[in-house]
Chain A
Amino acid sequence: MTETLLLVLVVVTALAFDFTNGFHDTGNAMATSIATRALKPKTAVLLSAVLNMVGAFLSLSVAATIAKGLVDANVITLEVVFAGLVGGIVWNLVTWLLGLPSSSSHALVGGVVGSVLAAVGTSGVIWSGLVAKVLVPALIAPVVAICVAATGTWLVARLTRGLPQDLTSRGFRWGQVGSASLVSLAHGTNDAQKSMGIILLALIAGGAVPADSSVPFWVILACAFFMALGTYLGGWRIIRTLGKGLVEIDTRQGMSAETSSAAVIMLSSYFGFSLSTTHVATGSIMGSGVGMPGANVRWGLAGRMVAAWGLTLPAAGIVGALCFWMQHGVGGFAGSLLVVALLLFVSLGMWFASRRKPVDHTNVNEAWDEDKAVGLEPVAATTGVAGPAHVAPVESDGHASPVSAVIGVGATHGTRSNA
């Protein structure tokens, strides 16, 4: 009985992770299209959501693996997976609150490594695999992407010099939306499969399906749906950082960046050197600033981002380890429930913190101010630091109040879609 309940819990948590993965990574594909106004914000996230959903169904060669080659497969139990998932979710939410793009898959790996460490100690982790498959690629991905996108942007800028601007921006809008769509599709195919793999593994471990089973249809459907839902709600904070924070971009840069992302992501998996979608996409956007004559990349922000990437593994690992200990200390299903309760509490807390300074489809494109960007951090937010008009006090009950609609100065309240 306990085993069944735990299995249900793991499946639900995996879907929750799938959801955070969706909204965390919307910006990878759509931030540039939103920033250049090639697409309306809502249209962009809808398109991305649909493509993620389609992508999840595209290829169904799902392997029941989690953190393969990174941890000892024999020590993976439902408890370990559960604690790891919670670690991944918490880190995804923290970085979302800070508006920092970071790799969802690294967060998951970090969480699982942490819970494995807590469960069996250092012997359960394959350290060389961790360095070779996670740490080194995280350093290389942005460098490769910057090179590719900078080359592309520079060539494009040179070729389109002297052409009428309305014509180039109209033409490149198409190119940009097309290449961004490909990134969304690739994301749906890659990342929804990770959640499917976890759930399949849990089902096998729990004895619900035979060991050689393929993925049940409801798992595919559920993973595709929750990822699409997360994508549609849109991680507006991260979209804003990627689209407006790193560099001011036009449609030419947008197309170069997205094509670079799509090409590097797919080619890297083709050549067996998988790179994180987030790291590649971020690097590509930086590269489009490097290659564009006269554009400025905000390297300070880029540095904070890279720091967050470095922290992803240990931070998610610590949460994963704590969850495992808590779960194990209390024991049994009660322990798992306690972790769920804490997860809900932390998630709600972060959601409320985000309401202090909401970012959503209405203000995602506002001019970037490096000082205000710092104000997005919860320290400042919880002290109620005054911001521009759109952070006017908000009745965050999630309903559009007619009064605030009248008095609101470009206010952003009343929408639930600020995820």
Chain B
Amino acid sequence: MTEFIEWGSLAQVVVAGVVVGAGIPTLFALGLRLLVGHDAGAPVSADAAGGGVRVATRTRPGTARLVGAGVCFAVCVGAVVAGIGFLVSGGH
């Protein structure tokens, strides 16, 4: 099979694909979570796993959370802009 698969390129695609393709939605989710600002603390804390029945307390998020959410969304937008730039540059 080796002559038919460029393993190097494939590995790069898989690694970069997981980092970008899974990372961007994750950042987006993190951004949302920070924005909602409930008291669960760290995003992946055990408390957050408590289940969906709890009514979320929509307290206003603090500045730190807002900044964090802003950074998350900015990275997502940046990734889209980079994608468009890639298409325009003819790299496809």
A: residues with CB less than 8 A from B are: 55, 58-61, 128, 131-132, 136, 140, 144, 147-149, 151-153, 155-156, 158-165, 167-168, 171-172, 175, 178-179, 182, 185-186, 189-190, 193, 252, 255-256, 259-264, 266-273, 275
Chain B residues with a Cβ closer than 8 Å to the other chain, count:
51
The answer to whether A59 and B26 touch (CB under 8 A), given A149-B21, A163-B33, A175-B76, is no
The answer to whether A260 and B51 touch (CB under 8 A), given A58-B88, A136-B5, A160-B29, is no
The distance in angstroms between the C-alpha atoms of A134 and B48, with both chains bound, is 45
The answer to whether A263 and B10 touch (CB under 8 A), given A59-B89, A160-B33, A162-B49, is no
Residue of B with least CB distance to A182: B83
The residue from A152, A190, A270 contacting B21, defined by CB atoms under 8 A apart: A152
The answer to whether A270 and B91 touch (CB under 8 A), given A158-B44, A168-B32, is yes
Q: List 18 A-B contacts (CB under 8 A).
A: A58-B87, A59-B88, A140-B5, A140-B10, A151-B18, A156-B25, A158-B49, A159-B30, A162-B52, A163-B56, A164-B56, A175-B25, A252-B29, A256-B22, A266-B87, A267-B12, A268-B17, A270-B91
> B4 touching A128 by the CB < 8 A rule?
yes
The answer to whether A264 and B22 touch (CB under 8 A), given A160-B32, A186-B92, A189-B92, is no
Interface residue? B16 (CB, 8 A): yes
B: residues with CB less than 8 A from A are: 1, 3-6, 9-10, 12-14, 16-18, 20-26, 28-30, 32-33, 35-36, 38, 40, 43-44, 48-52, 54-56, 58, 76, 80, 83-84, 86-92
The answer to whether A178 and B80 touch (CB under 8 A), given A155-B22, A163-B32, is yes
Q: Which A residues are in CB contact (< 8 Å) with B22? A: 148-149, 151-152, 155, 256, 260
Given contacts A167-B32, A172-B28, A259-B21, 8 further A-B contacts (CB under 8 A): A131-B4, A132-B3, A136-B5, A148-B22, A152-B26, A163-B56, A270-B91, A273-B10
> A182 touching B29 by the CB < 8 A rule?
no
> B9 touching A273 by the CB < 8 A rule?
yes
Q: Which A residues are in CB contact (< 8 Å) with B16? A: 263, 267, 271
The distance in angstroms between the C-alpha atoms of A82 and B45, with both chains bound, is 61
The residue from A131, A163, A178 contacting B36, defined by CB atoms under 8 A apart: A163
> A55 touching B9 by the CB < 8 A rule?
no
Q: Which A residues are in CB contact (< 8 Å) with B83? A: 182, 185-186, 262, 266
> B3 touching A128 by the CB < 8 A rule?
yes
The distance in angstroms between the C-alpha atoms of A179 and B50, with both chains bound, is 30
The answer to whether A270 and B86 touch (CB under 8 A), given A159-B26, A255-B28, is yes
The distance in angstroms between the C-alpha atoms of A147 and B80, with both chains bound, is 21
CB distance from A77 to the nearest CB of B (A): 28
Q: Which A residues are in CB contact (< 8 Å) with B4? A: 128, 131-132, 136
Q: Which B residues are in CB contact (< 8 Å) with A136? A: 1, 4-5
Q: Which A residues are in CB contact (< 8 Å) with B28? A: 156, 171-172, 175, 255
Q: Which B residues are in CB contact (< 8 Å) with A178? A: 76, 80
CB distance from A132 to the nearest CB of B (A): 4
The distance in angstroms between the C-alpha atoms of A186 and B26, with both chains bound, is 22
> B17 touching A264 by the CB < 8 A rule?
yes
The 8 lowest CB-CB distance pairs between A and B, nearest first, are: A263-B21, A152-B22, A159-B29, A273-B9, A148-B21, A151-B22, A260-B21, A61-B90
Q: Which B residues are in CB contact (< 8 Å) with A252? A: 25, 29
Residue of B with least CB distance to A264: B17
Residue of A with least CB distance to B87: A189
CB distance from A273 to the nearest CB of B (A): 4
CB distance from B21 to the nearest CB of A (A): 3
Residue of B with least CB distance to A274: B92
CB distance from A406 to the nearest CB of B (A): 44
> B25 touching A269 by the CB < 8 A rule?
no
The residue from B1, B17, B87 contacting A185, defined by CB atoms under 8 A apart: B87
The distance in angstroms between the C-alpha atoms of A172 and B33, with both chains bound, is 12
The distance in angstroms between the C-alpha atoms of A263 and B24, with both chains bound, is 9
Q: Which B residues are in CB contact (< 8 Å) with A260? A: 17, 21-22, 25
The distance in angstroms between the C-alpha atoms of A61 and B91, with both chains bound, is 9
CB distance from B72 to the nearest CB of A (A): 11
Q: Which B residues are in CB contact (< 8 Å) with A266? A: 83, 86-87, 92
Residue of A with least CB distance to B31: A171
